[in-house]
């Protein structure tokens, strides 16, 4: 099932996408919802951010090629993580599918995308085991972990490099039926393919992360975990359109614009 948060006729609702139609429901997907008689052509609605997570988790280094490329740039030997570790991103930075990533006028040209699988949590859980871990997953969406690399290099943390307003596109919807094993992530800039990788080729996959995190944390409905990216991005310029496609989920598309241009 494909859950879309959308606006039509001035009203924001949750709906189910079936083919090229959206069927509005009367509540949110984690409630006791019912279909309504209201339908809209998908092409006619404004796609909204699916949710603002309570806690916004994000994996840093989780693919070998990305890790190697990052280490090469620093002139270092890549250190492969020996256990799952997590970071955080800021809710202020989230935007929806088809909304613009706004590059601050004082940012450098080192603006990169990172196409990521996003796990959406559906239950309040702690102390998960390998056997129970996947029960808390409501579905999947797509994230673009936009980064300003000169700030990332200059700063003590990732605060502005990854969390400036609009730097976290997420969407377009939440897919509950997608199969991890079959997923491929493809990134295109202005329609031209720039990255392709097997989404599940992670150093630590979804299950090990859920097990490790819930040794320490309670996960809450609506929390999201961005799972990291593979490969590297070219510098993204004013006017470029970045599409991230994950098999079985869909395509997250955002234009990048430089402030004041």
CB 194 within 8 A of CB 188: yes
The tokens of 212 are what?
């490790």
87 lies in the site for a copy of itself, by CB under 8 A: yes
Contacting range for a copy of itself; rule: CB under 8 A; set: 34-42, 138-146, 211-219, 225-233 = 211-219
Other Cβ atoms within 10 Å of 11 Cβ, number: 9
Q: Report, in Å, the least distance between residue 105 CB and a copy of itself.
A: 11
- Cβ–Cβ under 8 Å, residues 55 and 86: no
Using the contact rule CB under 8 A, the part of the chain among 24-32, 43-51, 79-87, 187-195 near a copy of itself is 79-87
Cα(237)–Cα(111) distance, rounded to whole angstroms? Answer: 8
Write down the least CB distance from residue 218 to a copy of itself, Å. 5
The span of 10-18, 22-30, 163-171, 237-245 binding a copy of itself (CB under 8 A) equals 163-171
- Is 60 a binding residue for a copy of itself by CB under 8 A? The answer is yes
CA separation for the pair 45, 238 (Å, rounded): 26
- C-alpha distance from residue 10 to each of 7, 33, 45, 124, 199 (Å): 6, 21, 10, 32, 36
Of these, 35, 44, 52, 135, which contacts a copy of itself (CB under 8 A)?
52
215 binds a copy of itself (CB under 8 A): yes
Angle at 25 between CA 19 and CA 28, to 5 degrees: 115
Among residues 41, 157, 234, 239, which is the contact residue for a copy of itself, using CB under 8 A? 157
Q: Which is nearer to a copy of itself, 22 or 164 (CB)?
A: 164
- Among residues 163 and 194, whose Cβ is nearest to a copy of itself? 163
Instruction: By CB under 8 A, tell whether 134 contacts a copy of itself.
Output: no
User: Applying CB under 8 A, does 222 fall inside the site for a copy of itself?
Assistant: no
Among 89, 97, 149, 253, binds a copy of itself (CB under 8 A): 89
CB under 8 A, 24+ apart: contacts of 37-46: 38/13, 40/6, 40/8, 40/15, 42/4, 42/17, 44/8, 45/4, 45/6, 45/7, 45/8, 45/15, 46/6, 46/7, 46/8
Q: Which stretch binds a copy of itself (CB under 8 A): 9-17, 160-168, 184-192, 196-204?
A: 160-168
39 binds a copy of itself (CB under 8 A): no
Determine if 104 is a binding residue for a copy of itself (CB under 8 A).
Answer: yes
Question: Between the CA of residue 1 and those of 61, 150, 194, what are the distances in Å?
Answer: 30, 40, 29
Q: Considering only residues 166-205, where is the footprint of a copy of itself by CB under 8 A?
A: none
Pick from 13, 65, 8: nearest CA to 173: 13
User: Which residues in this chain contact a copy of itself in the complex, by CB under 8 A?
Assistant: 52, 54-55, 57, 60, 81, 85-93, 104, 106, 126, 155-157, 159-160, 163-165, 215-220, 223
């Amino acid at each position: 099932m494909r859950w879309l948060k959308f606006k039509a006729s001035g009203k924001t609702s949750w709906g189910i996408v079936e083919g090229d139609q959206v069927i509005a429901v009367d509540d949110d997907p984690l409630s006791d919802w019912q279909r309504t008689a209201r339908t809209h052509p998908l092409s006619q609605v404004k796609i909204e951010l699916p949710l603002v997570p309570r806690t916004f988790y994000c994996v840093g280094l989780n693919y070998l090629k990305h890790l190697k490329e990052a280490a090469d740039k620093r002139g270092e030997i890549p250190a492969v993580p020996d256990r799952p570790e997590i970071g955080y991103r800021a809710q202020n930075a989230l935007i929806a599918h088809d909304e613009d990533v706004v590059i601050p006028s004082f940012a450098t040209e080192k603006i990169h995308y990172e196409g990521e699988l996003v796990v959406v949590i559906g239950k309040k859980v702690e102390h998960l085991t390998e056997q129970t871990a996947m029960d808390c997953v409501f579905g999947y969406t797509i994230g673009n972990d936009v980064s300003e690399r000169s700030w990332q290099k200059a700063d003590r943390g990732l605060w502005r490099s990854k969390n400036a307003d609009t730097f976290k596109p997420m969407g377009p919807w939440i897919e509950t039926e997608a199969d991890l094993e079959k997923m491929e992530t493809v990134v295109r800039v202005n329609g031209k393919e720039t990255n392709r990788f097997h989404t599940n080729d992670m150093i630590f996959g979804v299950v090990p992360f859920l097990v490790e995190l819930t040794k320490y944390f309670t996960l809450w409905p609506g929390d999201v975990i961005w799972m990291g990216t593979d490969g590297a991005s070219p510098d993204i310029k004013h006017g470029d359109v970045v599409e991230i496609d994950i098999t079985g989920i869909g395509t997250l598309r955002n234009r990048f614009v430089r402030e004041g241009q």
